[in-house]
Amino acid sequence: MGVGWYFTLALLAVTSAVVNGCPPSDRAALLAFKAALHEPYLGIFNSWTGTDCCHNWYGVSCDPETRRVADITLRGESEDPIFERAHRTGYMTGYISPSICRLTRLSSIIIADWKGISGEIPRCITYLPFLRIVDLIGNRISGVIPADIGRLQRLTVLNVADNLISGRIPPSITNLKSLMHLDLRNNRLSGELPGDFHRLGMLSRALLSRNQLTGPIPGAISRIYRLADLDLSLNRLSGTIPESLGKMAVLATLNLDFNKISGTIPPSLFSSGISNLNLSRNALEGAIPDVFGPRSYFTVLDLSYNNLRGSIPKSVASASYIGHMDLSHNHLCGRIPAGSPFDHLEASSFVYNDCLCGKPLKAC
Ligand SMILES: *[C@@H]1O[C@H](CO)[C@@H](O)[C@H](O)[C@H]1NC(C)=O
């Protein structure tokens, strides 16, 4: 056998190492990412050794064709045996290193529920054109949402809930035309909702609860055809409730509780597809619209802690179902109607009004 034959063999060996392994540059990027984190209890990074980062590296997976790293999935709360053996949930400190951005084929970054990861969201992630999922829920990440987040044209999930993120919702966010799930709950976001929020045409869940958002609810949100769950509760939103929210095709949950919303309740909300409606703790006034009917179906209808006046409309009894209803802490007056749903509600649903009477309160 000649030298040429050995050369061919050597070449084959090198090629197959590249085909089966991960590119050395991806491996180096992962090791730099790992170096910025400290995970003391489970040892998840102990598996990050050897040359093939596509094989048995905990939480790493590669595209089978390109052999490039495609997903980082590190969850601090999971059913994985590693957690059962340790009898605890995960805890990790450190920060998300910008070296993650050298993994240019990344499709998902899930670094969730580690409780102690701080630092900021690396700005460079907006240059990862294949990103579909960014899930950083349940850490101590601070700083802002990257201003040019709108570059991520394939992003379907953006979840940074339960962190310490501040600043405004960047205007570019409305360029995320693939976004289906937006969860920014429980952070320190301030400023107004982008006026063109409705450009998020694929959105089905918009969860922005527990921030410091101000300004009005843009009525055009109702143009988001697939929106099923809108949670704006526990903010400082003001203005009135757009009537158009009650005319949305699939909106099922509308939580606007604990804001500074004023004006009257749009009648459309009570004859819509909304089954979970919480308007508690605002400054709503006027009467409860007398428009309930067979289309009205509520598992939760909470209107407590407002300035509602007048009597409880008789049409409530014609709703097809009302599970939990709370009208307490308003200025309602008059006789509580008989029949369903009033026969299964307790006094606490009616207390602290001006002059409601009849079962389950005192006789009139
Ligand atoms: C409605 O919102 C209020 C205020 O945020 C909250 O206290 C209450 O539990 C909510 N109601 C229901 C039924 O979840």
Residue 8 above 80 pLDDT?
A: no
Q: How far is the CA of 280 from the centre of ligand 1 (A)?
A: 6
**Dihedral sign of CA atoms 137, 141, 145, 147 in order:** negative
Instruction: Please report which residue ranges of the chain form alpha helices under DSSP H.
Output: 3-20, 24-35, 81-86
Looking at residue 142, its pLDDT comes to 98
pTM over 0.85? The answer is: yes
Mean pLDDT of 75-97: 95
The tens digit of pLDDT for each residue in 10-36 reads 444 444 444 568 999 999 999 999 999
Cis peptide leading into residue 23 (ω within 30°): no
Q: Does the Cβ of 349 fall within 6 Å of ligand 1?
A: no
The tens digit of pLDDT for each residue in 221-245 reads 999 999 999 999 999 999 999 999 9
CA distance 207 to 157: 12
Q: How far is the CA of 302 from the centre of ligand 1 (A)?
A: 7
Backbone φ and ψ of 124, nearest 5°:
-70, -10
Residue % of the chain over a pLDDT of 70: 95
**Dihedral sign of CA atoms 256, 257, 262, 267 in order:** positive
Q: How far is the CA of 29 from the centre of ligand 1 (A)?
A: 45
Instruction: For strands 69-75 and 60-62, give the pairing.
Output: antiparallel
DSSP 50: S
Looking at residue 20, its pLDDT comes to 63
Residue 6 above 50 pLDDT?
A: no
Query: What mean pLDDT, rounded, does the chain reach?
Result: 94
CA distance 69 to 54: 7
Of 100, 91, 82, 80, the C-alpha closest to 35 is: 100
Q: Which atom of ligand 1 is nearest to the CA of 234?
A: 5
Q: Which atom of ligand 1 is nearest to the CA of 281?
A: 4
The tens digit of pLDDT for each residue in 306-363 reads 999 999 999 999 999 999 999 999 999 999 999 999 999 999 999 999 999 999 999 9
Instruction: For strands 283-287 and 307-310, give the pairing.
Output: parallel
Of 332, 324, 331, 328, the C-alpha closest to 347 is: 328
Q: Does the Cβ of 302 fall within 6 Å of ligand 1?
A: yes
Residue 241 near residue 219 (C-beta atoms within 8 A): no
Q: What angle do CA 172, 135, 221 make, to 5 degrees?
A: 45
Looking at residue 9, its pLDDT comes to 40
The tens digit of pLDDT for each residue in 120-164 reads 999 999 999 999 999 999 999 999 999 999 999 999 999 999 999
Q: Which domains does the chain have, with CATH numbers?
A: 21-141 (3.80.10.10), 238-364 (3.80.10.10)
The tens digit of pLDDT for each residue in 173-214 reads 999 999 999 999 999 999 999 999 999 999 999 999 999 999
Residue 147 near residue 122 (C-beta atoms within 8 A): no
Q: How far is the CA of 132 from the centre of ligand 1 (A)?
A: 33
Q: How far is the CA of 187 from the centre of ligand 1 (A)?
A: 19
CA distance 235 to 217: 11
Mean pLDDT of 249-258: 98
Residue 175 near residue 148 (C-beta atoms within 8 A): no
Looking at residue 13, its pLDDT comes to 40
Q: Does the Cβ of 258 fall within 6 Å of ligand 1?
A: yes
Instruction: Please report which residue ranges of 45-94 form alpha helices under DSSP H.
Output: 81-86
